[in-house]
């Protein structure tokens, strides 16, 4: 299991091969990190299998992590990429998940590291190198209280793949029970918005627009959960909490532009929704683990998921969803 004393402190490349990705564990086995030979890096907590850092070759951080985020396993991490399963938000009218905490239990459970795999590259050709880290969570590993609240037998495999210009996260949900269950899945990604104008930092988020959602219907949770249609590029000018159902295929990217230049592209695989969230002033002020309080100026959540309806899995069935986040230079 995850905490076994014999776990190696590092998984190194084989001597004689071209430079390979390096994977290491923290001394307390609480987190896993990976670094490509070209400098890109990744860090993941086993608590929640939460990606807490993703840096490009220049060492620039691509994810926003609250300065007050709890990284000790005491509560869900504010920032990075928390995993939402088996319920998005709360669902008091859905009997099977009514007793679960907000966003379910995947982000607050201890996951098992299952191993790494790397792409092969010819000597001197590191451009196509990547590393994939796999994590697992299943019903027997949940505490008794959580099992009582959601008494289904399941298996989750979460894979995080770091390449030179992208990060891919995918989740496979398998129903190991003898009865069907409903679930929702979301990749709650906090993207970091750059300080494009340090002299007027209050305008940073105003330099951002999101394209790829035009003509999409969305539920505006800030405006009484009314259903609306996006008519043009989206800009953030206040508290934003929207669940989009894009009219375009998942392979068509949602693009985050900073000052008119591409900062991120988000491509979905089998995930029909995109949540866009920014807490703005008042909500950020009310969250104890959100810091600095003006950090909403430097973050934007673009969250692929399957949350518009319930995914019903029959015994033995599986659901898989993924996102690939590309970065612009």
Q: Is 78 annotated as a binding residue?
A: yes
Q: Which residues are CB-neighbours of 163 under 8 A, at least 6 positions away?
A: 36, 40, 119, 128, 129, 130
Catalytic hit among 40, 43, 103, 188: 188
Kindly report whether the peptide bond that precedes residue 5 is cis, defined as omega within 30 degrees of 0: no
Any catalytic annotation for residue 103? no
Q: Is 102 annotated as a binding residue?
A: yes
> What is the β-pairing status of strands 226-229 and 217-220?
antiparallel
- Cα separation, 187 vs 84, whole angstroms: 6
> What tokens does 146 get?
């959580």
How does DSSP classify residue 253? Answer: P
Residue-by-residue DSSP string for 192-230: EPP-S-TTSGGGTGGGEEEES-TT-EEEETTTTTEEEE-
Catalytic hit among 40, 43, 258, 303: 303
Any catalytic annotation for residue 188? yes
- Point out the annotated binding site: 78, 102, 107
- Point out the annotated binding site for substrate: 78, 102, 107
Q: Catalytic positions, please?
A: 188, 303
């Amino acid at each position: 299991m995850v905490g076994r004393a014999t776990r190696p402190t590092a998984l190194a490349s084989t001597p004689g091969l071209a430079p390979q990705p390096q994977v290491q564990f923290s001394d307390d086995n609480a987190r896993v990190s990976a670094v490509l030979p070209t400098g890109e890096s990744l860090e993941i907590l086993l608590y929640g299998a939460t990606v807490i850092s993703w840096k490009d070759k220049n060492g620039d951080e691509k994810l926003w992590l609250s300065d007050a985020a709890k990284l000790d396993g005491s509560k869900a991490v504010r920032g990075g990429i928390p995993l939402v399963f088996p319920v998005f938000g709360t669902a008091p009218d859905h009997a099977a998940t009514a007793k679960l905490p907000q966003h379910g239990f995947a982000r607050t459970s201890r996951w098992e590291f299952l191993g790494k795999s790397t792409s092969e590259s010819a000597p001197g050709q590191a451009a196509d190198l990547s590393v994939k880290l796999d994590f697992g969570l299943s019903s027997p590993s949940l505490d008794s209280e959580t099992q009582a609240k959601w008494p289904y037998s399941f298996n989750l495999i979460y894979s995080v793949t770091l390449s030179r210009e992208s990060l891919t996260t995918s989740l496979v949900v398998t129903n190991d029970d003898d009865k069907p269950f409903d679930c929702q899945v979301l990749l709650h990604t906090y993207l970091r918005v750059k300080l494009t104008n340090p002299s007027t930092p209050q305008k940073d988020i105003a330099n951002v627009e999101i394209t790829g959602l035009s003509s999409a219907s969305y539920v505006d949770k800030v405006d009484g959960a009314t259903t609306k249609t996006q008519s043009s590029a989206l800009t953030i000018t206040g508290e934003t909490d929207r669940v989009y159902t894009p009219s375009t295929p998942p392979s068509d990217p949602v693009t985050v532009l900073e000052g008119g230049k591409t900062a991120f592209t988000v491509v979905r695989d089998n995930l029909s929704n995109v949540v866009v969230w920014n807490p703005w002033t008042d909500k950020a002020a009310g969250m104890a683990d959100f810091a600095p309080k003006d950090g909403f100026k430097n973050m934007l959540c673009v969250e692929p998921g399957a949350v518009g309806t319930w995914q019903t899995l029959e015994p033995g069935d599986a659901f898989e969803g993924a996102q690939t986040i590309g970065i612009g230079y």
